[in-house]
Amino acid sequence: MPTDPCLATLVRRDWLDAGPLGHLIDPYIVALRGQRYGERTIRGYVGCLAHFCHWMACDAIAWSAPEAVSLVERFLRDHLPTCVCPVPCYASVASSGAALRHLLKLLPASQPAVLTDPVTVELERFGQYLSSTCGLAPVTCDRRLHIVGCFLVRAFGSRAATVSQIASVQLDEFFAELSTHLQPASLRTACNSLRSYFRYRALLGDSTAGLAAALPRVADWQRTTLPKVLSDAELEAFLATFDLTDPVGLRDYAIARCLLDLGLRGQEVTYLTLESLDWRQATLTISGTKSKRVQQLPLPAVTGEAIARYLREGRPTQSQNRALFVRHRAPFDRPLGVPAIRNAMNRAFVRCGLRDRFCNTHVLRRTAATRLHRAGASIKEIADLLRHQSLDTARVYARVDLVGLRAVAMPWPGCTS
């Protein structure tokens, strides 16, 4: 058992001594210190590991590295909400989840399983098509693979998937079952997933035009309402909430300017590096887009000034990471993730009293598009800036410009005013 000083005052060190994780504690502490976590935080995380060991001992659960993920999920999901372990113990779900995630990073990567099931093999190939050819995000790929996998298992079981054997009645039965528990938006996602799969099979030579036509059309009620955007007054109040005397405030303000002035997505902001900026040409190169294309955008003066001030006055000077926006708390020297960006914008909405109306970062992207259209930009120009592959996606912003729509509206017959 390691004799690190941070363990000297650990409340439940005996649980660690009797547990199966003793050989991992030393490298675990070293890894956390390498990420500049505080000693108090490290001691708390080690206490969470002790609680995890006690749970395995009480339930006679054998530690197995290949099954570590499932064990962690059982501990967090089943044990902690109903924990009756002797006090004191570290029973916080948030702290335990963070501590165990660090533990999983220390385990050797398991060998990938050999794919033998025909449906699994088909989904693996389809997933490669979605990722490499279509350039879809991992979350979108997983969602489509799940829907297509459910349909193929229902249609073929463990047999090889043969598209020519699929009948339209099977699609009707599948969507009739989905409609009993899915909302219209989720049904549209299911339709798009299967349509994408039929398009993939068509590239391989299968005739899928009839199957694609047999997919149901689900009403899109979202287009009956206008997208929520910030008014000029709300936008001014939002930007005024950032503390420009604080390094974190400077960083978050620069991020807000990127979202508002360039219409970037949160994930695109995380991919920005110091090399993305060309100060002489006043351009910003972005990668990590949904289409996986590298694109160059003009850098507005106000955006460049916000970024330059953050680099001069806010960004940690000791950081060796080349990411533009980095963490200002442990783990240090790492890029800022999407959840952190989302939380930073949500805190700004709270400070300006708009949290009940707005959340997340996408409202800033919609606001950027709406302001461009009101300034006279065409739908094509907006679609190019937002990197939309279809003009239909950007046409929604034409409906937001009520002043412009009133100017072109025909007078009502008989109305003199």
Report yes or no: 130 and 144 within 8 Å, Cβ to Cβ: yes
Tokens 């501590």 belong to 99
Give the C-alpha separation, 78 to 163, whole Å: 41
Three-class DSSP category at 285: strand
Three-class DSSP category at 306: helix
How far is CA 310 from each of CA 182, 314, 330, 333, rounded to the nearest angstrom?
A: 45, 5, 19, 16
Helices then strands (H, E): number in the chain?
19, 3
Give the C-alpha separation, 386 to 383, whole Å: 5
Q: What is the rounded radius of gyration, in angstroms, for the C-alpha atoms of the chain?
A: 27
Report yes or no: 168 and 214 within 8 Å, Cβ to Cβ: yes
Q: Which long-range contacts (CB under 8 A, 24 or more apart) does 231-236 make?
A: 234/352, 234/354, 235/260, 235/367
Give the C-alpha separation, 48 to 53, whole Å: 9
In sequence order, what DSSP letters do the residues of 18-38 get, joined into one string?
TSTTHHHHHHHHHHHHHTT--
- Catalytic residue IDs: 265, 290, 362, 365, 388, 397
Name the residue among 246, 245, 317, 265 with its Cα closest to residue 255.
265
What's CA 67's distance to the chain center, in Å? Answer: 26
